[in-house]
Structure 1
Amino acid sequence: MNKTRPPLDILLCAPRGFCAGVDRAIQIVELALKTYGAPVYVRHEIVHNKFVVEGLKAKGAIFVEELDEIPQTSQPVIFSAHGVPKSVPEDAKAKNFFYLDATCPLVSKVHKEAVLHDRRGHEVLLIGHAGHPEVIGTMGQLADKVVTLIETVEDVESLEPKDPDNLAWITQTTLSVDDTADIVAALQRRFPNIKGPNKDDICYATTNRQEAVKRVAPRADVMIVVGAPNSSNSKRLREVGERAGCRQSILLQRATDIDWDSLGDISSVAITAGASAPEILVEEVIDAFSTHYDVTVEVITIAQEDMVFNIPRELREAAIAKGVLEAGPIAEPVK
């Protein structure tokens, strides 16, 4: 006798999943493979998602952590969406590598801010997480120990700058909006003359996804964030869900990671995905719930995203010349 499946409301956050920077980075690897053939070398995970990386490996991408791992080659070498220290392209030039930069344009914007503040004589403070590739890349735009990393409000309180009236702050693009606001407020309290970015460094996709979770999480028994454990924006979404009042906020990579016994008695689940998680993994999670529950899906949309970033000119022109890509209009550059 068939057991009746209990009802379950799935509250699907929108926007979720891929952002324009991630989409562009993946396009660059795929288009390079089509244009130049395999292998294509990628320094660091192109984006923080195992499913995406494994899919690109299957197509002929070879992932390395450092350029020293790459043999002498005329094949493309691609830098990840997180950005790299300026020493990396310099090293690539010294090795005569043909490289393509897949750094998200919104990360590049932060790099330019760091350089500009330094040129103006400001002591640069970077709000971010130690060891994250984006932070390493941003700090690496300037000489060693020029940029000071700020991770917490406590770091602000213990900061002893050379000139308290000549400071500037920038941020990692994938931080918690609320945590960052607290740190910025602490900086402004201690250093009233501190300079900040003209436009927030936390990117539109991070902000939108966190806002959607804040809106939806209080209505759900469980919040599920589809994303990788090394993805900063995915980890922040899990934290936001927890703070928004959800009794369980879970980060998982695939539907197979769901611990059904731990969910308990539930009637509603909210689902979102980090900016480097493809929609197919969200669908996989929904399908998994459909085998256990009688599912009703409601999409809660808090913003529309239509941003598109250009692929590098040299790749675009080569792909058009080889007939891999049709010539067409180019998206507007990021301001």
Structure 2
Amino acid sequence: MKKKILKRITQAIPMLFFISFISFMLMNLAPGDPAQGFITARMSKEQADLIRASLGLDQPVMIRYFSWLKTTLNGDLGYSLITKQPVIREIGSRILPTLGLMGASLVLSVTISIPLGLYTALHKNKLLDNIVNFLSYIAISIPSFWFSMILITIFSLKLRWLPSVGMRTIGIESAWDIIKHGILPTVVLSFSSTAVLTKYVKSSTIGQLKEDYITTAMAKGLPRNKVLFKHVMKNSLLPIVTILGMSLPSLVSGAFITETVFGWPGMGRLGVNSIQALDYPMIMAMTMLTSIMVLIGNLLADICYLIIDPRMRRGE
């Protein structure tokens, strides 16, 4: 098992270098000039060129990439062009709210989708199954920013049950206040992934219910719920682990939109501001960090595979 995990980690290293190279090239091909935020109309051409040189923009793109790579490998992510603060400090102050939001949405998705998928598979084509199918198609199709505005209108403006923006209320330092602020963005971020997970759990469960071992268990007189949760659910976990690993990129990209709409002080909002301002050091740092998060998620999915399925530990 340790050898397989080490192999996965070794395979991820060249992938990170490839992602960094492609991201750096695409970023420099994008229209715009980050030096424009420092250049005024009264400056001479020599002053403007001096500013570009101080930002390293006067060098060829390949030289700039290897210079960035060298400093990054030494642990220096540079300084933000917007705040003039170290990039690592800016990200460090934003990463915990984002991880909290993503973790809460993932827990909510799993908590709802597994029992719902099992139940709808057991009652296929019944009323609840049809309702869940209808809601799943809506959840997959609906734009997250539009769904966010609907929830804000209903629960914040009309009912006044939940706050609409931010992570804390000014003057209030309590965990419950943070939870209230996080309910709406968590629901939005988990809405689509819950629908996808539910459909996969249902599909996998339907396939397991047709297996011979289920027929044997039912013939022995075991209660249906016991068969469902003790035998069927265990064998339906593998596709769920796969989908959870694949859902991390959508969670990261969804956090950009959700945090911007709800004013959540996380990496998503920081990333949108950095892209708008062409803050190259911050964009590259966030790109690599999100890539590492996705690779770690896939690695955890592989480890779960090895734990759940003994055949994979034996290399079958």
Tell me the TM-score range normalised by the shorter chain. under 0.3
More strand by share: 1
Q: Which has the larger radius of gyration?
A: 2
After TM superposition, the score normalised by the length of structure 2 is 0.25
More helix by share: 2
